[in-house]
Amino acid sequence: MRRLFTLAAVLAIASAGFLPPAATLAQAIPTGEPTPPPKQQCSAKKTKWQQKQCQDYNNSAPGDEYFGKLKMSYLGINNTFKDMVIESGEFTTSQNIVNKLNNAVEALGKWSAKYPHDPDLARSYYLGVLALRKVYVQAQQQLAWEYIQTILKRFPNTYFSKQMQLATKDGFTEHWYTDAVPCAVAGADPTPSPTPAPPSKPGQPVVDLIAPPCIAPPTPEPGFVPTATPSPAPRGRNAPAPAVTNPPATTAPATTAPTTTSPASAAPSPSPSPKSVAAAKKTAPAAQVSGTPVPGPWPPPPH
């Protein structure tokens, strides 16, 4: 019901003439693409300088147009090249710098394809040469040489073309690293030397191949010997009874009984005669009894 009421209200307003025509609405809606500046009639200019300025204006890209997958403006492209010149130092092979340069190169290609006669392209190509020549990678070195040729052929009367002529009057040398090879091992086959650069043709750059340090073979790790892990003994009621082991029998050392030497038994004396006994009684003291020893100095045992 609400939709029908809204539709009826729109039709009533349109019939009353309050809405602009459809063509005017279509022109007011932005399409997402920048509107190119209107072309000027350069032939109407009086001087050659004015005509040259007019042509450059007509060939230039709008300042608010962006190129490449990162949507970079011409200022963004130039600033990227300038930053990479500083970050690269004397030379570099950093993949991070290579990735940033690839984004600027891709945007510059889109810009050059759409506006091939834009006078600001010469500056961007020149900055690209300064940044790419510091990256010692084959693709970037060859691209720097292509940019130099683009400046010399498409923009011969610019300041940047004169700078490239001075920089390459003695030739241009491309530098890049070869693939690393394993280090030579004693007793093994000799390591092949890197392939030398082919001789440069007239009008072509000289290639300088740089051999990186060799790769040392990996050191073998000591072998791992697994050790047996003892299983835990069961506990509780299900634990087996410990086995009884008889200790080994010990043999007692043989003891030898002390040998006592009995005194030589005296020969039995003959029985005394009655006469001798009677004579002994007369001569023995009163306390002595025949066959009873006389008490010594020790007291007699108690009774």
Q: Model confidence over 54-78: pLDDT tens digits?
A: 888 888 888 889 999 999 999 999 9
* Of 31-45, 73-87, 153-167, 277-291, the least confident: 277-291
Residue 224 to residues 114, 218, 220, 230, 231, Cα–Cα distance (Å):
65, 17, 12, 19, 21
The CA distance from 245 to 242, in Å, is 9
- Binned at pLDDT 50, 70 and 90, residue 38 comes out as low
- Binned at pLDDT 50, 70 and 90, residue 28 comes out as very low
- Binned at pLDDT 50, 70 and 90, residue 229 comes out as confident
Other Cβ atoms less than 10 A from the Cβ of 115: the count is 19
Q: Which two tokens stand for residue 260?
A: 């006592």
Q: Which 3 state secondary structure label does DSSP give 28?
A: helix
Name the residue ranges covered by the structural domains of the chain: 68-173
Are 160 and 126 spatial neighbours (Cβ–Cβ below 8 Å)?
yes
Are 209 and 178 spatial neighbours (Cβ–Cβ below 8 Å)?
yes
Backbone φ/ψ region at 187: left (φ over 0), alpha (ψ -120 to 50), beta: left
Average pLDDT value for residue range 155-160: 94
pLDDT at position 157 is: 92
Q: Give which of 129, 153, 150 is closest to 140, Cα–Cα.
A: 129
* Of 93-97, 217-221, 281-285, the least confident: 281-285
- Binned at pLDDT 50, 70 and 90, residue 211 comes out as confident
pLDDT(300) > 70: no
Are 155 and 122 spatial neighbours (Cβ–Cβ below 8 Å)?
yes
Count, residues in the chain: 303
- Binned at pLDDT 50, 70 and 90, residue 100 comes out as very high
CA 197 centroid distance within chain: 33
Average pLDDT value for residue range 178-207: 71
Beta-sheet strands, E only, within 41-166: none
pLDDT at position 215 is: 85
Q: What is the pLDDT of residues 258-275, one digit of tens each?
A: 555 554 444 555 555 656
Are 136 and 92 spatial neighbours (Cβ–Cβ below 8 Å)?
yes
The CA distance from 80 to 71, in Å, is 13
pLDDT at position 72 is: 94
Q: Which two tokens stand for residue 41?
A: 């009639």
